[in-house]
Chain A
Amino acid sequence: MSAFAKSEANETFVLNLGPQHPATHGVLRVKLTMDGEYIVEAEPVLGYIHRMHEKMGENRTWAQFLPNTGRMDYLHALAYNHGYVSVVERAAGIEVPERAEYLRVITAELNRVSSHLLWFGAFILDLGGFSPLLYAFDDREHILDLLESVTGSRLTYCYFRFGGVYNDIDDNFVPGTRAFIKRLRDRMPMYHNLVTKNIILMKRLQEVGPISAEMCRKYGATGPVCRGSGINFDVRKHEPYSIYPEMDFDVPVYDQCESMARYMVRMDEIEQSLRIIEQGLDKLPEGPVMAEKVPKIIKPAKGDYYHAVETARGSFGVRVVSDGSNTPYRLKLRSPTFSNLSLFGEACQGMLLPDALALMGSLDLVIPEIDR
């Protein structure tokens, strides 16, 4: 498609995409240098929703930082919960009861499905199709109801605690989740018939937005972005944490390096997450949901610790440096979309504006997570 050669006369202009623009999903600004409708240069400008979570972490106790984690990636908040509690548990040497681990994985995977559903709707909206958004929100609503009954909130969850989870599930959760899995499995073929096989969508996504595997490596792209470029990398398999090693699931990998591949990865991941949830419900053991010997005030041993988890958008890592006191000395949050977006400038050179926006949509950006 890109039979693009920069015109000799310097006839470019600067187009400010955002910070308020329908396609940027929040306050992201992209400074585009355009030649007609072709993009010569793109420079994302960040920081419009920067809140300095890392500094906040240094000013409060280990436990007080928990609610912050849900406010970075508000679409997959439980994975952020998971990453943070895991690293503190690793630092402080806290053992987690098995039932709590199962509940963590079940809820985090439900959250992943809801994130992918929202992305699905919003992505098609970027491409000009409005209706799938409302269908996806309809399904997502059921997940939010399920998670609300367990965690008490609908979006910015703060459910995990050091040593377990804060609340056991109620009687309706297991049958409700099973009913939802069946419902979503029935709906997926409709999504594929209505959207995936749509000729316009295929034309817009296939062979558009190339991101090579080498480019992923150089920019540190993870998650569906690198799996759409043929790299089989999923933190859940690569450095297994929690009870993922006991779960039987596949990592969907497509090697076409195009927007369609990233789309397919996410659509397949919904099914894989449903499988994990199903197995989790089958194996869910009885027992406490909170470790008994968790000190009231956590003081991890001196040193620094790292823990990575797989969020809906890629590998989220937390590095904490502890000086042995009750507050973190340093807290580094490595958010996946920050790296994923950093390759946008190179990837969209020479593309047409609508294709670049399709590429941006396929990166699945959540701006508060980039800016932190």
Chain B
Amino acid sequence: MNCGAIKQKLAASGAEAVIETEYARKGFALNVQVAPEQLVAAVSVLDAEGFFIEAVTGVDWLGEQATLRKEAEAKAAAEAKAKADAAAAAGEEAPAAAPPAEQGELAEDALEAVYDFNHYDEFCRVTIRTRMVRSKPEVPTISHIYPGADWHERETHDFFGIIFVGHPYLVPLLLPEDADYHPLLKDFRP
């Protein structure tokens, strides 16, 4: 078994993208993007291959969509400017600036859950990511596959408010038992 075989199996399990990364640069060998519904299938593959769970955590991508749009606009503007410059250089009359495209509502920002798996014998750290919308952060639990994920999921729920559907005991682990805030969300104000 090696990382290549794992890659095949993960791709077969329905992962959206399985990318081999450069270990020396990134620190992990496989970067797997899955939809929340496919998570359990992907984790089951790793379980069958004898991986152990290293950690579960989250990342809050608040403002990502706005940034992406800004970048896209900047890029569009730069392109338009380049076109105009090119036209001006050619001596033609600059075309009327295209009216700014109707952008509509911003797509909702995402919360990402990140699962790290490693193998005792093989040199292959696998990072599984799954994204969900911020307003409905729900992802199935994997604590029935890896009992060790129980605490990691509780911790992630503490910090991000991600709800692990099917988790047997999703109460605060590190935060006070009556905590109703999620400190690692980017819009958290103490």
Contact = CB atoms under 8 A, between A and B. Distances in A.
Q: Is chain B found bound to chain A in the same assembly?
A: yes
Given A308-B27, A372-B174, 8 more contacts: A47-B174, A90-B26, A221-B52, A221-B148, A232-B120, A305-B26, A334-B55, A339-B148
Interface string A203-243: 00000000000001111110000100001110000110000
Counting chain B CB atoms within 10 Å of each CB, the highest count among A46, A216, A307, A346 belongs to: A46
Interface string A245-272: 0000000000000000000000000000
B54 A371 contact: no
A334 B173 CA distance: 15
B159 A54 contact: yes
State the main secondary structure of chain B at its contact with A: mixed
Contact of A226 (B120, B123, B147): B120
A319 interface: yes
B140 to A, nearest CB: 18
Interface residues of A, number: 42
Nearest to A93: B25
B84 interface: no
A43 to B, nearest CB: 9
A338 interface: yes
A343 interface: yes
B184 interface: yes
A219 B148 CA distance: 4
A239 B125 CA distance: 10
Contacts of B120: 217, 226, 231-233, 238
Given A50-B174, A220-B148, A332 B183 contact: no
B55 A317 contact: yes
B14 interface: no
Contacts of B183: 52, 55
B54 A332 contact: no
22 contacts: A47-B172, A47-B176, A52-B183, A55-B183, A58-B184, A90-B25, A217-B51, A217-B120, A218-B52, A218-B146, A219-B52, A220-B54, A221-B148, A231-B120, A233-B120, A307-B27, A317-B54, A321-B59, A329-B59, A332-B55, A332-B57, A334-B54
Contacts of B152: 338
A306 interface: yes
B109 interface: no
A25 interface: no
Interface string B138-168: 0000000011101110000001000000000
Interface in A11-49: 46-47
Interface string A328-347: 01101010001100110010
B33 interface: no
A277 B169 CA distance: 45
State the main secondary structure of chain A at its contact with B: mixed
Given A226-B120, A306-B28, A321-B59, A216 B52 contact: yes
B116 interface: yes
A238 B174 CA distance: 31
A304 B127 CA distance: 11
A358 interface: no
Contacts of A226: 120
A220 B53 contact: yes
A303 interface: yes
B175 interface: yes
A305 B23 CA distance: 10
A306 B52 contact: no
Given A321-B59, A332-B114, A334-B54, A220 B146 contact: yes
Nearest to A334: B55
Counting chain A CB atoms within 10 Å of each CB, the highest count among B60, B120, B121, B152 belongs to: B120
A90 B50 contact: no
A307 B125 CA distance: 11
A298 to B, nearest CB: 17
B101 to A, nearest CB: 26
Contacts of A55: 183-184
A317 B26 CA distance: 13
B29 to A, nearest CB: 9
Given A47-B175, A319-B114, A343-B148, A220 B26 contact: no
Given A218-B148, A319-B116, A334-B54, A54 B184 contact: yes
Contacts of A54: 159, 184
B169 to A, nearest CB: 9
A315 interface: yes
Contact of B148 (A50, A58, A87, A342): A342
